[in-house]
Amino acid sequence: MRFARSIGVLVAAALAATGTARAEQVVKIGVAISLTGPAAVYGATQKAGVLAAVDHVNKSGMLKGVKLEAVIEDDASTKEQGIAVFQRFINKDKVAAIIGPTLSNTATAADPLAQAAKVPVVAVSNTAPKGITDIGDYIWRVSLTEFQVIVPALQRMQAKLGFKTAALLYGNDDAFTQAGYAVMKASLEHTGIKIVGTQTFAKPDRDYNAQITALKALHPDILMVSALAENAAGIVAQARQLGWNVPIWGGNGFNAPAFIKNAGPAAEGVYVGTAWNKVSPDKVNQDYLAEMKARGVDPDQFCTQAYVGVLAIADAIKLEGGKGTREAIKAGFAKVKDLPTPLGLFSFLPNRDGSHPPSLQQVQGGKFQIVQ
C-alpha cells in the first residue's frame, strides 16, 4: 500500500516534470467521400489514403502534442448527402477541417456550407477548374484541375500521335464531366485541332452505341471522353466492340483501376492525364509506396491525393506552431510551400488551387503505365 502510493507519487511527479500529463490535443478531420454511388470506386481508395496518412503523421511525431483523428462519412456521390455530412461535421463533430467531398458535383453544393461556417476544406479529387476554390477563402485543393492536367498532356499527346482532328463524348449531368469537356474543347481549339463531332450521355446510361456510331462515322484522329469510371468503362468497351480502334484519351474519371478492370482488354492503349507519377524515383514517393505496401494497399492517384490532403493539413498545423483550430489551419494553408509529398513538391497557389507536376499515363498490360 505504502509502496503503491509512493510509486503513484513518483509517477505523478515524473509526468508533471516531462509535461506528458497534459492531454494530447486531438484535431478532428471530417472526411466526406463517396463510399456508395457512382463515385464509390474513388472513395474506397481515398479512405485508404487518409487512414495511412493519419497514421503516418501521428507516428512521425512531427506534430508534438497534436494527434490527428479522421471522421469518415459517406457522401453517397450526391449533393444531398454531401450537404448532410458537411452539416454534421460542422455542427456535431465540430471538425477542424474537412477533406472531400469526392465529386466536384457534390462540392458545388456542400462547400458553401463550410465557407459560411468558416471551416477549411481541402478538396483531394475535385478537378472542375471553376466553381470549387472560387466558392471562397476557406476552400482549398490538392487535386490538380482538368485544365492543369490536360493542357500539358495535350502537347505530349500531339507530339506522340500528331492528330489533327478530334471527337468529344461527355456526361452532361455532372459538374466534373461538363467542366472536363469544356477544358478539352478549349484546349483542342486553342491548339488548332478540329473538333469534328460532339456527343453526350448521362450517368445512368449504359448503352452508348448511338453516340459512338455517330462519332465513328466522322473518322476523327482521336476520341476524347469526359466520364466517371463506370460510364468510361462501358464507352471504351462498346467503342472497341463496334470495331473502332481510334486512340482514346480520357479525363480524370478514367484514373481509377476499376475502369481498367471493368473495361477489360478494351482498356488497352487508353491514355489518361494524371496528377501522380507513381514511378517517380523521388524518395518521398518511394517511401510512400513502401508504406502502402506494408499496409496491403496498392495505391492509385486518388489514394495518393487523399494522403497528401492529410499531409497538407498537418503541415498547416505545424506552420502555425502546433495550433489545430479552424482558423489556424486556414492560415497555415496559405504558407504551405514546396512541401515534399508523393505527388512531388506541393504548394498552394494564391487562388487556393494546388500546384505540382502532372504526368501522362497509358493502359498497358492491364495497368496504368507512366508515359516517359
Give me the residues that bind ligand 1QQ (CB under 6 A), please. Answer: 39, 42, 102-104, 125-128, 176, 228, 252-253
Three-class SS of residue 194?
Answer: strand
How buried is residue 5: exposed, middle or buried, by Cβ count under 10 Å (0-12/13-18/19+)? exposed
Of the pair 63, 235, the CB lying nearest ligand 1QQ is at 235
Q: 104 or 211, CB closer to ligand 1QQ? A: 104
Q: Are the C-beta atoms of 314 and 69 separated by less than 8 Å?
A: no
Identity of the residue, 104 or 133, whose beta carbon is nearer to ligand 1QQ in the bound complex: 104
Per the structure block, which three cell numbers stand in for 228? Answer: 466517371
Residue 348 backbone dihedrals phi, psi, to 5 degrees: -90, 140
Strands 194-201 and 248-250: unpaired
Instruction: Please identify, using beta-carbon distances, which residue of 151 and 284 lies nearer to ligand 1QQ.
Output: 151
**Closest distance between ligand 1QQ and the C-beta of residue 363, in Å?**
17
End-to-end CA distance of the chain: 71
Rg (CA), the chain: 23
In the complex, least distance from residue 276 CB atom to ligand 1QQ, rounded to whole angstroms: 13
Contact 151, 191 (CB under 8 A): no
**Min CB(228)–ligand 1QQ separation in Å:** 6
Q: How far apart are CA 44 and CA 33, in angstroms?
A: 8
CB-CB contact of 138 with 120 (8 Å): yes
Which CB atom, from 103 or from 167, has the smaller least distance to ligand 1QQ?
A: 103
If the CB atoms of residues 149 and 212 are measured against ligand 1QQ, the closer one turns out to be: 149
Least distance between ligand 1QQ and beta carbon 43 (Å): 8
The upper half-sphere exposure of residue 12, i.e. CA atoms within 13 Å in the direction of its Cβ, equals 6
Closest approach, Cβ 46 to ligand 1QQ, in A, equals 8
